[in-house]
């Protein structure tokens, strides 16, 4: 571990990781609340599907309505974990150790907000309350913008730094 100058790339990756952790936790809670509130509806809809009380189109719509929040909660948990990986990778970048973790952290910094955008967009599929879903989609993706910008800058800068021959040599030492 030579004393190599990685510039501010480790700070950019650290900031991206912190933003992604906050983003993941915030939206995890944001999505968990309606999931818990909609639990009774989900149980009733599952019972109706099992009894054959619904047509196929209604059953598919109900299944999408039931499964979407579960997928979103899982995705936001993964985004929080990806943010933590970015934070640990930033620390390793600063000390020029564990090149693989740094590269994984850079990819996580870039990928986390993209995953968030995809799963926030899923709320538009859950049309149980179309007006609220559209509002949730619009405001929900506002939180993606700072995570996306920080992730792109931090991740790309970290990858460029690791590919620098001086820094790459320090990782190999």
Instruction: Quote the number of domains for the chain.
Output: 1
Range of the domain at 27: 9-31+72-172
In a domain, 46, yes or no: no
User: Could you report the per-residue pLDDT of 91-141, keeping only the tens digit for each?
Assistant: 999 988 899 999 999 999 999 988 888 777 665 555 455 555 666 666 667
In a domain, 38, yes or no: no
Question: Which position has the higher pLDDT, 22 or 121?
Answer: 22
pTM of the predicted structure, to 2 decimals: 0.79
Q: Which two tokens stand for residue 158?
A: 């970290």
The proportion of the chain whose per-residue pLDDT surpasses 70, expressed as a percent, equals: 72
Predicted local confidence at residue 54, as pLDDT: 67
DSSP one-letter code for 54: S
Predicted local confidence at residue 36, as pLDDT: 73
Distances (CA, A) of 118 to 26, 70, 121, 169: 16, 14, 5, 37
CA dihedral sign of residues 35, 25, 142, 159: negative
In a domain, 82, yes or no: yes
Q: Which two tokens stand for residue 75?
A: 């995705």
In a domain, 115, yes or no: yes
Widest distance between CA atoms in the chain = 69
In a domain, 156, yes or no: yes
């Amino acid at each position: 571990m030579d004393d190599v100058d990685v510039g501010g790339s480790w700070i950019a990756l650290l900031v991206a990781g912190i933003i992604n952790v906050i983003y993941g936790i915030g939206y995890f809670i944001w999505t968990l609340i309606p999931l818990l509130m909609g639990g009774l509806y989900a149980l009733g809809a599952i019972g109706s599907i099992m009894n054959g009380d619904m047509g196929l189109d209604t059953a598919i719509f109900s299944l999408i309505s039931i499964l979407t929040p579960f997928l979103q909660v899982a995705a936001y948990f993964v985004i929080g974990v990806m943010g933590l990986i970015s934070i640990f990778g930033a620390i390793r970048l600063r000390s020029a150790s564990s090149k693989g973790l740094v590269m994984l952290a850079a990819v996580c910094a870039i990928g986390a907000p993209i995953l968030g955008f995809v799963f926030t967009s899923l709320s538009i599929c859950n049309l149980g309350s179309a007006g609220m879903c559209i509002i949730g989609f619009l405001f929900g993706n506002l939180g993606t913008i700072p995570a996306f910008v920080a992730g792109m800058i931090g991740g790309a800068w970290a990858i460029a730094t690791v590919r620098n021959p001086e820094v790459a040599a320090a990782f190999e030492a």
